[in-house]
C-alpha cells in the first residue's frame, strides 16, 4: 500500500508514521510527503527519511480547486492508495475528497464532534472541559466531520496550559494515527451508514 502524507507544519505526526513504517509495523510505504509550505519542518523530516517531497505554493494557482487538482495529480502519478492529513492547514475541495473518497484520513486534537476547527486544544481549555483527546477520522466534505476511526481521551488538569495539554494530546496522536493506518492497511475498516466498523 502506498501512502502520501500532507503537512503544513512541524510534522510530529508524520514522524510517528515514518517511525512506525520503518519498524515494519504498518505494511505500507510512504511514497510522498507534500506540503503547501516550502518551509514546513515536515519536509525536512521526510528528506531525512529518504522520502520524496513535493511543495506546491497555493498562491501560484488560480484557486483552491486548481491547487487541489495539482495535488491529486501528484498523488495519482505515484499510485497513492491512502492520503494522510497531518497538520495540513487547508480545507480540501469537493474535487479532492471525491477523487480519494474513503481513502483520506485526518488527525484532530480533540474528541470529535467536540471542538472542531483550528484551535481545538485552546477551545477545550477555555470551555473548562475535563476531558479532551485526539481523533482519527475519514475526511468528507464536512470539516472535521467524517466517520471516526479511532479516538482516545486525555484528562485536562487544573494547571494545564495550552502547551502542556497539547503535549499530552500529541502523545496520544502519535499512537493512534499509526494504529489507524495499520487497520486501514489490513483492510479492517468499513464505513456503514456514516460509521466506521472495525473488523
Enumerate binding residues for ligand GRF (CB under 6 A): 7, 9-13, 86-87, 107-109, 173
Has 108 been annotated as catalytic? yes
In the complex with ligand GRF, which residue's Cβ is closer, 86 or 180?
A: 86
User: Rounded distance, CA 53 to CA 40, Å?
Assistant: 11
Grid coordinates given for 46: 521526510
Q: How far is the CB of 109 from ligand GRF (least distance, A)?
A: 4
Side-chain half-sphere of 12: how many Cα atoms within 13 Å? 12
Mutual orientation of helices 162-185 and 12-22 as an angle, nearest 10°? 40
User: Rounded distance, CA 91 to CA 97, Å?
Assistant: 10
In the complex with ligand GRF, which residue's Cβ is closer, 71 or 139?
A: 139
Centre a 10 Å sphere on the Cβ of residue 18 and count the other Cβ atoms it contains: 22
- Conformational region of residue 24, where left means phi above 0, alpha means psi within -120 to 50, and beta covers everything else: left
Which residue is catalytic, options 108, 137, 170, 174? 108
User: Rounded distance, CA 144 to CA 163, Å?
Assistant: 22
Q: How far is the CB of 135 from ligand GRF (least distance, A)?
A: 8
First to last CA, the chain: 19
Q: How far is the CB of 11 from ligand GRF (least distance, A)?
A: 5
In the complex with ligand GRF, which residue's Cβ is closer, 133 or 196?
A: 133
Strands 189-192 and 195-198: what pairing? antiparallel
In the complex with ligand GRF, which residue's Cβ is closer, 68 or 173?
A: 173
Q: How far is the CB of 136 from ligand GRF (least distance, A)?
A: 9
Active site residues: 108
Amino acid at each position: 500500500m502506498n501512502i502520501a502524507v500532507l503537512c503544513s507544519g512541524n510534522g510530529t505526526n508524520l514522524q510517528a508514521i515514518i517511525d512506525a513504517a520503518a519498524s515494519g509495523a504498518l505494511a505500507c510505504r510512504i511514497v510522498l510527503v507534500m506540503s503547501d509550505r516550502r518551509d514546513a519542518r515536515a519536509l525536512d523530516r521526510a528528506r531525512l527519511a529518504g522520502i520524496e517531497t513535493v511543495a506546491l505554493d497555493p498562491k501560484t494557482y488560480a484557486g483552491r480547486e486548481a491547487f487541489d487538482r495539482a495535488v491529486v495529480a501528484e498523488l495519482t502519478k505515484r499510485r497513492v492508495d491512502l492520503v494522510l492529513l497531518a497538520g495540513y492547514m487547508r480545507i480540501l475541495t469537493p474535487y479532492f475528497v471525491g477523487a480519494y473518497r474513503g481513502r483520506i484520513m485526518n488527525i484532530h486534537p480533540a474528541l470529535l464532534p467536540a471542538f472542531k476547527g483550528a484551535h481545538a486544544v485552546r477551545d477545550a481549555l477555555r470551555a473548562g472541559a475535563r476531558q479532551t483527546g485526539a481523533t482519527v477520522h475519514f475526511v468528507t466534505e464536512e470539516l472535521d466531520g467524517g466517520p471516526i476511526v479511532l479516538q482516545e481521551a486525555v484528562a485536562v488538569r487544573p494547571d494545564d496550559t495550552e502547551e502542556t495539554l497539547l503535549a499530552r494530546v500529541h502523545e496520544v496522536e502519535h499512537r493512534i494515527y499509526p494504529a489507524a493506518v495499520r487497520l486501514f492497511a489490513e483492510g479492517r475498516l468499513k464505513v456503514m451508514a456514516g460509521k466506521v466498523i472495525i473488523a
